[in-house]
A and B are shown apart, each in its own frame.
Chain A
């Protein structure tokens, strides 16, 4: 065992990379839940985004196009969920599960001819002087553009939810859909938009795994990250900046356990690999005592019968 082989600077830099797919998916789901919809299909949308982005990037040679395709694919899949829950009034838990099961199958089908291929590389940004600084350079100024996009998105969602009119309406729909309807807001339309935004974010998160973090395509490669993202929203008490914090925490756990595996710690590999899931459970237990911040209409369907 040689813990000194672990470089703390690289550790923090790779922690940020590991956290980004989680962050993207969690921010998307946070907006969906703020609108009062519980979409358990994050895992399914992520994996479809992962393969759609991967395939597009390989075919076109442009990782950037891949990310766009992934966002579109995630949003498209989420429309299915929206049709089921918003128009067909189906149970949100069951619909979300079906989205995940369907997405896992669909991605495996789409990805058959892409196993073992290397995707085109997305270069890291390089700012002269800043990126070459010791310690600070690789941590703050040496990542790919999507990672910064994730942080910017967090800021944007925070601002929109807190200060803009759209954010206020979205929160009203999530807190009390009957009141929002009575005030003349189109509940279903707003929820549809939120669901599609969540789908696009989950798709981006998936593509980040297949194009940057791993980068290759294997079946079921999201390995529960979509579910951890759902837990992260609870962890964050539906607050964007806390979602960022949570994502970095979970990213940290993942990276540290991978580094410990590589360093040959005396703990068996399987038990280290369990740790992100166990820590998710632990965090859920600690935080589930306080449910006051959950949107009041979360998981309830709306039907304008009057």
Chain B
């Protein structure tokens, strides 16, 4: 007889190993999926995981890894703080959009000034936009006890409509011949989030992501607030007795994740994407949820997971053009990864015992 026995302590070894096991399982079942779609499975998996790093055109794809990974890491770091404390911000996509709108809007208000202050101002405005959007579920939760999951998610749809509205109206390029979308920030030096080293993919968003990783690490391991976050997640009752202020924690976690998502949106719109347009957002806010879990809600883990997820985006693009693998297949692939991760997590908290239960 096979039973599950709860471990007295979660296994550290399995906690580290499950993401790897999950990636392997996803490769296997993803391969099966690709085979069902009539694509060569081994070739497809190799294209996704190997080609961007070591393939013929790797010199072009490697910088892309930073470009795609930075927003994922930046958002996921913020989300992980809340997730640890049981505060579920799943509307990062909306905060990302609002950050981009605020950031771009703050810059465009001063067009065509060439002052060096414009870019820093945009950064602050972007973070503020995301923070503001996250404060809505935060305040509703602390003030009225409203469920933050549903509110933050509803606000994604609101933000998408708002994005459509500004790209057709308020922020529309006056010299754009009537096409929707703002001025292109890439062609305006003062607002352009350019590569810091040409050809490296390294832009300010990447720097911000690395700083966020370090800050989150210090916060969680060395700071009282970080301790309160962990305590609330692992032992809510103990946290209550220890005098952790839940209102402040909710405001802090949602606010930080909103500001980071807003930053990610602002760096994206002023750099790789270049302009506010109806569909400039590509779902980083949702993929970042997978990144946060895959990284075990740990800053360093998230850094690695963000890289891996960026790899599947880029590899997916390559597989799309080389093997005609549908874009949606990559989305399924990413979803599968989260599934397997959650399933194998069983082994972290439980031990599989064979035989009869002992009499206690």
Contacts and interface: CB of A to CB of B under 8 A. Distances in A.
A289 B144 contact: yes
A298 to B, nearest CB: 11
Interface in B331-357: 331-336, 338-339, 342-346, 349-350
Of residues B161, B165, B168, which shows the largest number of chain A Cβ atoms within 10 Å of its Cβ?
B161
Contacts of A112: 326, 328
A227 interface: yes
A194 B343 CA distance: 20
Contacts of A97: 90, 289, 338
Contact of A288 (B144, B157, B342, B345): B144
A102 interface: yes
Contacts of A305: 6
Interface in B309-338: 326-336, 338
A221 interface: no
Interface in A36-61: 40
B113 interface: no
A223 B154 CA distance: 10
A2 interface: no
Interface stretch (B119-127, B145-153, B211-219, B236-244): B145-153
B338 A102 contact: yes
A101 B289 contact: yes
A285 interface: yes
Contacts of B157: 223-224, 274, 277
B293 A94 contact: yes
Given A88-B346, A224-B154, A285 B336 contact: no
A156 interface: no
A90 B332 contact: no
A227 B154 contact: yes
Contacts of A219: 328
Given A102-B338, A270-B161, A284-B151, A109 B145 contact: no
Contact of A281 (B4, B140, B161): B140
B280 interface: no
Contacts, number: 136
Interface in A88-125: 88-91, 93-95, 97-98, 101-106, 108-109, 112
B132 to A, nearest CB: 15
Contact of A94 (B150, B156, B335, B342): B342
A99 to B, nearest CB: 8
A219 B334 CA distance: 17
A105 B150 CA distance: 21
Nearest to B137: A281
A163 interface: no
B289 A274 contact: no
16 contacts: A84-B339, A84-B343, A87-B346, A88-B343, A95-B342, A101-B289, A102-B338, A105-B331, A268-B165, A270-B164, A273-B161, A277-B158, A278-B158, A285-B146, A288-B147, A305-B6
Interface of B: 4, 6, 37, 88, 90, 136, 140, 144-147, 149-151, 153-158, 161-162, 164-165, 168-169, 286, 289-290, 293, 326-336, 338-339, 342-346, 349-350
Given A94-B293, A98-B339, 11 more contacts: A84-B342, A88-B343, A98-B290, A102-B335, A109-B326, A224-B156, A230-B150, A271-B165, A289-B144, A291-B145, A305-B6
